[in-house]
Amino acid sequence: MILEAILLTIITASTPLVIAAMGELVTERAGVLNLGVEGMMIMGAVAAFAASYSSGSPLLGIVAGIAAGAVFSLLFAFLTLTLVANQVATGLALTILGLGVSGQLGESFVGKPGVRMPDITIPFLSDIPFVGPVLFHQDLFFYLSIVLVIGVHWFLFKSRTGLMLRAIGDSHTSAHTLGLKVIHVRYLAVMFGGACAGLAGAQLSLVYTPQWVENMSAGRGWIALALVVFASWRPWRVLAGGYLFGAVTIGQLHAQAFGIGLPSQFLSALPYAATIVVLVVISQNRRTTLINTPASLGKPFVPDR
């Protein structure tokens, strides 16, 4: 069925956006603005492809992608949390660095056949007409993204540690006065965000396009950043927004396939144009934005000041 095929491609396109955005959501909830999602994602993609190609195991590729994203995020954390460098400038530099380093590391893998992550078939449920193949015959990344949304929601709003993290994001000075380890928590939050970005990159090179292509993240890290704002820092809204942006991305591909009389460049720009439009619409409701935005987001913290 055409509709079933379209839904499957939307899920595949949306999954890396959801995973990367969930990691950035936790990072920003802790009060840290990391604009280097694109760089961490592309590093995860090249590490996952290299590991899976060399070993023949996509699971090792996942581990390598997560590790690459987490390690790369530590560079950002050291510069911004320990040396108190500007978070915006450091995040942008991290993205540029990631794109350059990944291109260099992946040069020898261009054109090599990849190892695709196999789908997981859930017995009985996968046999349900239409719903079964769409929801219960998917790759591991899809199920991890759903578990991630549920887990992050529980962590932030149901656990004591999540409450501490949100308190640090809302007022790091007050949290420090109460004895909370602001820098320690923020280091862990940044590493979690990097690990999720690396996992999202691994999905690109193991499922979405099981091969290595330079700059294959293609701006998805920036969309993930916008998705966090679109979702007002709420996990379930990230899931919904991720599938909305994924649908726009796949929609322009199908529009080209159906021969709709619009320039291909215009159709290719649609996902990013949609991102800009959504951010403009959200910015109109300034009161809601201010209420949900972590008050200490992007602000440096030095304990002895």
Task: Give CA 119 to chain center in angstroms.
Answer: 21
241: Cβ contacts below 8 Å, ≥ 6 apart: 21, 227, 230, 231
State residue 47's pLDDT score: 96
pLDDT number for residue 250: 79
User: How high does pLDDT run on average in the chain?
Assistant: 88
In this prediction, residue 247 has a pLDDT band, given cuts at 50, 70 and 90, of confident
H-helix or E-strand spanning residue 92: helix 87-105
Is pLDDT larger for residue 101 or for residue 134? 101
Please give the average per-residue pLDDT across 207-231, as a whole number: 90
Beta bridge partner(s), residue 138: 120
204, pLDDT greater than 90: yes
Tell me how crowded residue 36 is: count the other CB atoms within 10 A of its CB. Answer: 32
Summarize pLDDT for 53-90 with one digit per residue, the tens: 999 899 999 999 999 999 999 999 999 999 999 999 99
Q: Which of 76, 109, 114, 115 is nearest to 197 (CA)?
A: 76
**pLDDT at residue 267 above 70?**
no
CA distances from 237 to 21, 260, 283, 296 (A): 11, 31, 17, 22
* CATH number for region 2-116+139-292: 1.10.3470
Most confidently modeled of 4-13, 27-36, 110-119?
27-36
Find the mean pLDDT for residues 22-31.
96
- Domain boundary assignment for the chain: 2-116+139-292
Higher per-residue pLDDT: 280 or 40: 40
Q: Supply the pLDDT for residue 231.
A: 87
pTM: 0.92
Listing DSSP states for 144-171 in one string gives HHHHHHHHHHHHHHHSHHHHHHHHHHH-
Q: What's residue 1's pLDDT?
A: 66
143: Cβ contacts below 8 Å, ≥ 6 apart: 120
Contact 69, 77 (CB under 8 A): no
Structure confidence by residue, pLDDT tens digits, 136-183: 889 999 999 999 999 999 999 999 999 999 999 999 999 999 889 999
The stretch 12-22 carries a mean pLDDT of: 95
C-beta contacts of 98-103 below 8 A and 24+ residues apart: 98/36, 98/38, 98/39, 98/40, 98/41, 98/42, 98/43, 98/72, 99/38, 99/39, 99/42, 99/215, 101/43, 102/42, 102/43, 102/45, 102/46, 102/214, 103/214, 103/215
Torsion of CA 95, 74, 156, 237, to 10 degrees: 10
Q: What is the pLDDT of residue 50?
A: 94
DSSP 37: H
E strands along 116-231, which residues?
119-121, 137-139
Look at residue 305 and tell me whether its pLDDT is greater than 60.
Answer: no
